[in-house]
Structure 1
Amino acid sequence: MTVQDFRAFNRFYTGVIGALDYGRSLYAPYSLTESRVLYELAHSPRTDAADLRAALLLDAGYLSRVLNRLEGDGLVERAPSRKDSRRVRVTLTARGRETAALLNERADESAGSLLSGVPAANRARLSDALRTVRDILADKRRPGPEDVVLREPYPGDLGWIVQRNAALYTAEYGWNADYEVLVARIVADHAEHRDPRRERVWIAELDGRPVGCVLCVRDSAPATARLRLLLVEPEARGLGIGDRLVAAVVAFARETGHQQLVLWTNDVLGAARRLYERHGFVLVAEEPHHSFGKDLVGQDWRLDLTATRE
């Protein structure tokens, strides 16, 4: 490939991106950079200003001006980090989350409109080609935590949650199809009865594909949320994805006014139990049971969300 070939492709791709925004300002009334900041904050609940600068390759002064505008519009809040007073923690307000979701929806609709013109037979080729470009230009470096994005589920992701839970727990623990039935019921119930103000699904995405998930749903007890179906693909473990997913649920449950966050798991899931302990969950009950074709010990864990935050 020559420099001219590469520049020609850049001109073509710039035209494609421009087509997504043809006839309207996709991110109005915000700039592309401001929208990118909102997107990062929506998918990284513990992001501070230094993290944003690194993720978006922004100058400190420029980022400060962007945050000033977003804060002035009531979309973000800034406060000293509780762990390091030299760092500034940036979080979305309720209005900020709504704005970020709206901008993301517009972008998805525009991209979907463009892709609707691509024949189904060519979509796999296009996906492979885009992945090849990313791999080559990234010099096939090992993925890091900064490459993982937490996002809302796309069409098909709920089915992926059921399929991957069933496949992984069969492969790693020998559980039978009863577990797949349970997961399918949980996901279907959430999809049918979800309260968007109090319930949410997170998908962890790496290199354009889902590699993890978790749900936050209402519990039958008053002012209580329940963490469900935490999963991280084996090849993506070691990147802190499980920690980020649990942190996202804890932050969301607190922000939406729940007083307790609970979960049920089994004693054989050692890595998950250690993760819950690190986030302050306390084991409150356990009971032997025979489920999914195995003799297990079920455990109930609880986190008091009214306690002082770290």
Structure 2
Amino acid sequence: MTVQDIRSFNRFYTNVIGALDYSSRLYAPYTLTEARVLYELAHSSRTDAADLRAELTLDSGYLSRILNKFEQDELIERAPSERDPRRRRVTLTVRGRETAHLLDERSTEAITSLIATVPDADRPRLTEALHTVRSLLSDGRPPRREDVVLREPVPGDLGWIVQRNAALYAAEYGFNTDYEGLVARIVADFAEDHDPHLERVWIAELDGRPVGCVMCVRDEAPGTARLRLLLVEPQARGLGIGDRLVAAVVGFAREVGYRDLVLWTQDLLTAARHIYRRHGFVLATEKPHRSFGRDLVGQDWRLDLHAATETMESIETTERWSDG
């Protein structure tokens, strides 16, 4: 392997994905860097301008010009940071989120078209080769929190949610196929009929693989959203993924105007309940039941979203002190 080999591959791949033609195709009317900033705002739990600059290794003046453009286009709003009033917090407006979603869709369509040229029998080999490159160039270091990306689902992800929920809950808690049926119905209902302005799915991705998920859907009660299907793969636990996924749901539900956020869980899911409590959820009711082949105690938890801001400020303050 030589430097020239890598440079040759870079030129090849750049031509294949059309990266030299972003201005007229994938990200118009925005540049590739501007699209990266939008993507980060749509998927990161930390959206202070300073965090964006560090995450994307951008010059502060360059990032400021991009954010000014976004503000003029009504894509973002800026306000003092909840973690540090000296910082500026940047959040997407509804229009900004729609724009980020559109650009993400274009990128997904381009990659889908590219993959369509690869025979089905060769796709596992391609996937493994991509993972090998990432693993080798990461120098064998263990995964870090900042390596995890929260993104919207792409084709195949909803099926993954059903499969991994069924497999993990069977392996860890002895749930039978009734649970797989429940998850399949929840996911099918979302896929067939959901309001993208009020309902979302997040996929946590690490090294190109999905390692977690969560959903936010409308509840039957007016003004209420429901958190569903929170899951983190065993090998990715300890990276704060569950906390980030719940924070994403809470932030989204507040942003789009829900008054309350509810969820149903089981008392044996102690790690998840700890996360819910940290984000201000309060146990409303609990009731024994027989489901999924087990005797369980179901719990309903509720979060008053008007009180969520104070809770998150407390969490972020604790995190800032624990980070040293």
CA contact (8 A) 2:176 2:293 kept: yes
- Partner residue in 1 for 2:210: 210
Contact residue 283 and residue 302 of structure 1 kept, 8 A: yes
Query: For each residue in 1:111-157, what CA deviation from the matched residue of structure 2 results, as whole angstroms up to 9, or x when unmatched?
Result: 22222222222222222222211111221211111111111111111
1:41 maps to 41
Answer whether contact 2:17 2:110 (CA < 8 A) is retained.
Answer: no
SS of structure 2 residue aligned to 1:12? helix
> CA-to-partner distance for each residue in 1:29-50, whole Å, 9 max, x for gaps?
1111000000011112442112
Q: Return closer, same or farther for 1:84/1:6 CA change in 2, 3 Å cut-off.
A: same
Counterpart in the other structure of 2:307: 307
**Contact 2:150–2:203 at 8 Å: present in 1 too?**
yes
Determine if contact 1:20/1:110 at 8 Å carries over to the other structure: no
SS at the partner of 2:124?
helix
Cα distance change, pair 36–22 in 1 and its aligned pair in 2 (3 A): closer
In structure 1, how many angstroms separate the alpha carbons of the residues matched to 2:4 and 2:210? 35
Gapped regions of structure 1 (runs ≥ 5): none
**Residue 22 of structure 1, CA deviation:** 7.8
Pair 1:308–1:174, CA change in 2 (3 A): closer
Q: Cα distance, 1:21 vs. partner?
A: 3.6
**CA shift for structure 1 position 23:** 9.3
Residue correspondence of structure 1 range 42-121 to structure 2 within 5 A: 42-121=42-121
5+ long unaligned stretches in structure 2: 311-324
Q: Which amino acid letter does the alignment assign opposite residue 277 of structure 1? A: R
Task: Work out whether residues 53 and 63 of structure 1, in 8 Å CA contact, stay in contact via their aligned partners in 2.
Answer: yes
Cross-structure match for 2:192: 192
CA RMSD of aligned residues (A): 1.6
Q: TM-score, normalised by structure 2?
A: 0.91
Deviation at 1:89, TM superposition (A): 1.2
Deviations 1:194-234 (A, max 9, x none): 12221111111111111111111111111111001100000
Hey, what's the Cα distance between the residues in 2 that align with 1:22 and 1:250? Answer: 34
User: What is the letter of the counterpart of residue 211 of structure 1?
Assistant: V
- How far apart, CA to CA, are the structure 1 residues paired with 2:160 and 2:279? 27
Give the TM-score taking structure 1 as reference length: 0.95
Q: Is the 8 A contact 2:108 2:154 kept in 1?
A: no
Which residue of the partner structure matches residue 135 of structure 1? Answer: 135
Give 3-state SS (helix, strand or coil) of 1:309's partner.
Answer: helix
Q: How does 1:228-239 map to 2 (within 5 A)?
A: 228-239=228-239
Query: What is the DSSP-based 3-state SS (H/G/I as helix, E as strand, rest coil) of the residue aligned with 2:295?
Result: strand
Q: How do residues 121-160 of structure 1 correspond to structure 2 at under 5 angstroms?
A: 121-160=121-160
Aligned partner letter, 2:59: D
Distance 2:121 2:169 in 1: 33
CA–CA distance in structure 2, aligned partners of residues 44 and 307 of structure 1: 22
Deviations 1:184-203 (A, max 9, x none): 11111222221222111111
Question: Is the 8 Å Cα contact of residues 225 and 262 (structure 1) preserved in structure 2?
Answer: yes
What is the identity, as a one-letter code, of the residue corresponding to 1:250?
Answer: V
2:49–2:87 CA contact under 8 A, matched in 1: yes
Indicate the residue corresponding to 2:173 in structure 1. 173
